Amino acid sequence: MARQTCFFLLLVLFAGLGAGMGSAGWGHAETGVPGVGKSFPPIVLEAPKDPAMRTYLGIGDVQTFTVDKVDADVVVVEIFSMYCPHCQREAPTVNAFYDLARKKNRPGKTLKILGIGVGNSSFEVEVFAKKYNVPFPLIPDGEYHVHKTLGQVRTPHFIALKRGADGSRKVVYSQAGSFGSPEAFYRLLMER
Amino acid sequence: MKKSVNLYFGMAAIVGLLGLGCLGVPAAYGVSEAFHGKIYVPGPLKPVDSELKVRVGEPAPDFVLPSLSGEKVQLSQFRGRKNVVLSFVPAAWTPVCSDQWPGYNIVKDLFEAHDAVLLGITVDNLPTLFAWTQEMGGLWFPVLSDFWPHGAVAARYGVLRSDGTTERAIFVIDKEGIIRYIDVHDINQRPPLEEIVKELEKLPKP
């Protein structure tokens, strides 16, 4: 009987291992895109190679990081792709939003942005950054690990996380497509 | 008892392998919001379903195809003047294809830096290609229709699939008209841009 139980456990282990390897990134179940009030999954991201971008994120000299380590009161994550025409059209608006936030940032009210290029290699996110003069960090997600974990959202998809009084971050905005005007989006995230 | 142990082990292995089988399933596609509700999703397809009829080092078969601009484009018109990249994509209004050419659309400078022209080819007819590329916001490179005789050029190169669509294939052809690179890619995945650039870098500099 003990032997049977042992093999049953082996069955479950094999099935779980197989399904896990075949789905999202290692160690991350497909949680779907987090809705308002939820937490962002602790996905491990490759830290930008550019020291200036690491400084912007406030993550120090690390190889990897998670979104909750970004030193800001509000973090906006843009899920994008170099190949996505909507993301290309939206790029100048997102840059304008970055500029607006940079000008308005002050202690206790800081907003930072990072992009995650789904299905994009390092080369491809660099092409996008260069083409549109993107001033904020773009992280490659070449194997779609992040994309699958987030439920394969369409691009662009913007997720904003706000730090609460207890230090935990909750999603305050999660939507595909354009966020509209940078000013209105900033007010929505910072002044309510 | 031994029989039931073997049975359990067999079941464990099968279920585990079924799970692992997902590794072979193509990765998710970052479909642009621009195409929301407009894409036909066929699901995972046989990665390659044709047999190449040309090889690296051979002259690229010449062809003439109608383009979206209304002009006919002949491959040999670039001989002695430009390197040529042929990008066959399987079909309009499908997931990976709809997020492939829009990427090439922002790297005109990379092609020009290598004195190369890009020719996009599908077996769709011109009206379909017109509607599809308009949805992308227009493309800077010629888009050619290999619709009639259906897939004749794709067949000549050996990239026509058994269902009448083409492979997702890249051919790099030098100024002498010689094929220098072939990538018949897994139809379910997009070829990385850097592979094309790397092959262009191997060609003689302008």
Residue B81 lies in domain? 2-202
| Cis peptide bond upstream of A156, omega within 30 | yes
What is the greatest pairwise CA distance in chain B? 76
Active site residue B97: yes
Pick from B100, B106, B194: which is nearest to A121 by CB?
A: B194
User: CATH no. for residue B62?
Assistant: 3.40.30.10
Q: What percent of chain A has pLDDT over 90?
A: 72
Contact status, residue B200 vs residue B206, Cβ threshold 8 Å: no
Pairing type for strands B179-185 and A45-46 reads unpaired
B201 touches chain A (CB under 8 A): no
ipTM of the complex: 0.79
Is the Cβ of A24 closer than 8 Å to some Cβ of chain B? no
Q: What is the mean pLDDT of residues B85-112?
A: 92
Q: Which two tokens stand for residue A189?
A: 């995230």
Give the helix/strand (H/E) hosting B67. Answer: none
d(CA B63, CA B142): 14
What are the structural domain ranges in chain A? 1-29, 31-190
Question: A123-137, pLDDT tens digit by residue?
Answer: 999 999 999 999 999
Please state the domain count of chain B. Answer: 1
Per-residue pLDDT at A78: 97
Collapsed DSSP state (helix, strand, coil) of residue A71 = coil
> pLDDT, tens digit, for every residue of B119-172?
999 999 999 999 999 989 999 999 999 999 999 999 999 999 999 999 999 999
CATH number, span A31-190: 3.40.30.10
Query: Nearest CA of chain A to the CA of B59: how many Å?
Result: 31
Per-residue CA distances from B135 to B93, B114, B138, B188 (Å): 10, 28, 7, 21
Residues of chain A contacting B17 with CB distance shorter than 8 Å:
18
The verdict on a CB contact (< 8 Å) between A85 and B105 is yes
For residues B73 and B117, what is the distance between their CA atoms, to the nearest angstrom?
A: 12
Task: Tell whether B13 lies on the interface with A, counting CB pairs under 8 A.
Answer: yes
Among the listed residues B73, B75, B89, B97, the single catalytic one is B97
